[in-house]
Chain A
Amino acid sequence: MTLFNTLLASAGGEQNFFAHYIKEPVYLISAALFIFSLMWLGSPRTARKGVYAGVAAMLLAVIATWAALDTFDYFTWIILALVAGFIVGYPLSRVALTAVPQRTALSHAFGGLAAGLVGTAKFWYWFEPETGSPNLTAFRMIAIILEIILGYLTFTGSLIAAGKLMELKWLPQRPWVYKGQQVVNLGAFGLALLLGVLVIMFPDKGWSPWAFGIIILLALNFGWMLVMPIGGADMPTVISILNSYAGLSAVAMGFVLDNKLLIVAGALDGSSGFILSVLMCKAMNRSFTNVLFGAFGQVQTTVATTTQKAVRSASPEDASQLMEMASSVVIVPGYGMAVAQAQHKVRELYDALTKRGIEVRFAIHPVAGRMPGHMNVLLAEADIPYDKLWEMDDINSEFPTVDVVLVIGANDVVNPAARHDKTSPIYGMPILEVDKARTVMAIKRSMNPGFAGIDNELYYMDKTIMVFGDAKGVVGDIVKALTSKLH
């Protein structure tokens, strides 16, 4: 009993006992579980355990916070918020896998909004002009300003990104740029910075809430300004950057609320988004600093030199014969495959070829799909074993020994011009070197150059055979030709 009393006294009274001796240790366990969660996600075998660790950490943290709040009262708004969170969150977890990028962008928006609102609420609560706002220390004020700028910027930026991914009619898919955009952006950024410094220095003046409000408006505007100029092809990078910003806004919230658990979890999210952005930039051959400051996406819309060169085309039946004779086939799926909903037909093709003893692998470019790793999820949904999904760096050295490469709905990521043509807009981008395989087959609707408007010299090579038509239909026909011959 004496020990208990000593502990109680050192914790500053009965009310804070739980907060000091239970909440903080629970937070410690929770932080460790979050790290375990990401460690277990490292491999597909342990990945689901990672999810459970994350859920456990979250539950522990929420219960501890709730229980430690001695001024807590049951406020109907809280119940409403929790119920509404379930009602909105559950359907968002059931979306089609092609819509996962939009869902992710929306959840970044929610994360940013939460950070922005908590920062605003804390400023509001601590703002006391009569007593000189003693709680708004310079350090806290810096954290609040960072939190609201990052939070609100992520909110609007992610909403625009989600809108672009949903292909909303009123949002331009092409990069949206105007003259003097950089000047306007820099000017707005300078103004926000100036106001931020003023509020940090004078958090107790009558005008500081107004300056604070203007910073919020500017931050909301930044998100919009950063993402509007970006085209659909750069979405994997944008999503990763916004992921990083959302994490950093949670870190800033941790500084504001003196909460180490928030700092740890936010830092994990922030560093993950950062690493993914760097990977996406490398895969797209974009400079990381440009991306960080939003000056990217200015895809050169050079009109493709449409010199009419001859291509060899073949029917799905011819294609099936060529594949039958192969001993090793590599399929290169692009987002076009997912748009055509062809992944289940591709799975049938995989089955038909494997049954004949042909080795089938999939070559996945890092930016295949609309977000990092998107293509893997789409193929996993079609029941394609994940050990057949090969990363770019691993499969590139294998191509010379591959008999047939089948390109479905991919274009720029297999364009050999990226290696040698210095005038090409995609020069320097790492590609899947399918042109080194013995035979290349590409399924395409027509010879129109793709989204980026770049002509692909792969299609004119002697070893290339074009199969024209809708991806789903063509793959279906190839499968039919293969299976009918089995009997």
Chain B
Amino acid sequence: MDFMSYLFVFMLSTFIGFMVIRGVSPLLHTPLMSLTNAISAIAVVGSIVVAGSKDYPIGVRILGAVALFASMTNIVSGFLITDRMLKMFKKQEPGK
């Protein structure tokens, strides 16, 4: 396996992260944190692999299932609350 290419992916996506996040207005920093939280719950992918592979011992798969629960909680609550907060940000309606 090519470790170096993984490090490159990490380095480049960190830079993309810096550029993109710097463009987010401080107005939206709370939704930003909720959204990045939900995004990093992509750990669900790892949990599925560990919990769902039948050649793994049962104890390992239970650890995976608990991890799956934790990631699932973050996906559900993270995306829903971000959208709920963003719905509240309104511009001044004209004529008011």
Contacts and interface: CB of A to CB of B under 8 A. Distances in A.
B46 to A, nearest CB: 5
A77 B38 contact: no
Contact of B72 (A89, A103, A354): A89
Interface in A372-393: 372-374, 376-377, 380-381, 383, 385-389, 391
Contact of A58 (B27, B28, B31, B38): B38
A219 interface: no
A265 B42 contact: yes
Given A54-B38, A272-B33, A65 B45 contact: yes
Contacts of B35: 37-38, 41, 50-51, 54
Contact of A66 (B29, B37, B52, B54): B52
A139 B10 CA distance: 15
Interface in A70-93: 71-73, 75, 77-78, 80-82, 84-86, 88-90, 92-93
A267 B17 contact: yes
Interface in A22-52: 31, 34-35, 37-39, 41-44, 47-48, 50-51
A84 to B, nearest CB: 5
B82 to A, nearest CB: 5
A70 to B, nearest CB: 9
Interface centre among A69, A93, A125 (most CB of B within 10 A): A93
B72 A85 contact: yes
Interface in B31-67: 31-57, 59-67
Nearest to A74: B52
B27 A389 contact: yes
A376 B80 CA distance: 18
Interface string B65-76: 111111111111
Given A54-B79, A80-B65, A104-B37, A97 B85 contact: yes
Contacts of A94: 80-81, 84
A421 interface: no
A257 interface: yes
Given A117-B67, A268-B17, A104 B33 contact: yes
B33 A372 contact: yes
Nearest to A124: B60
A38 B91 CA distance: 21
Interface stretch (A105-113, A202-210, A290-298): A105-113
Contacts of A265: 39-40, 42
A333 interface: no
Contact of B13 (A73, A240, A268): A268
B37 A58 contact: no
A140 B23 CA distance: 34
Interface in A196-217: none
Contacts of B28: 41-42, 44, 47, 373, 376
A277 B1 CA distance: 34
A264 interface: yes
Contacts of A366: 26
A358 B26 CA distance: 26
Nearest to B63: A121
Given A51-B83, A78-B51, A380-B85, A239 B33 contact: yes
B68 A41 contact: no
A107 B77 CA distance: 8
A389 B28 CA distance: 11
A85 B65 CA distance: 10
A55 interface: yes
Contact of B45 (A239, A251, A261): A261
Interface centre among A51, A92, A113, A275 (most CB of B within 10 A): A51
A243 B59 contact: no
B63 A42 contact: no
Given A124-B59, A273-B36, A377-B31, A263 B6 contact: yes
A81 B80 CA distance: 19
A78 B59 CA distance: 13
Contacts of B36: 38, 243, 247, 268-269, 272-273
Contacts of B22: 275
Nearest to B45: A65
Given A38-B20, A272-B36, A380 B90 contact: yes
A122 interface: yes
A118 B47 contact: yes
Contacts of B96: 354
A117 B73 contact: no
A319 interface: no
Nearest to B11: A267
Contacts of B49: 65, 69, 257
Given A38-B36, A107-B77, 6 more contacts: A34-B39, A71-B54, A90-B80, A93-B80, A104-B30, A268-B20
- Shortest 6 CB-CB distances between A and B: which pairs? A85-B72, A373-B29, A89-B76, A271-B17, A93-B80, A269-B40
23 contacts: A35-B20, A38-B21, A47-B31, A48-B83, A48-B86, A48-B87, A55-B79, A61-B42, A73-B52, A85-B73, A88-B73, A88-B77, A89-B74, A104-B30, A111-B71, A117-B66, A121-B64, A125-B57, A258-B1, A261-B45, A264-B9, A373-B27, A385-B93
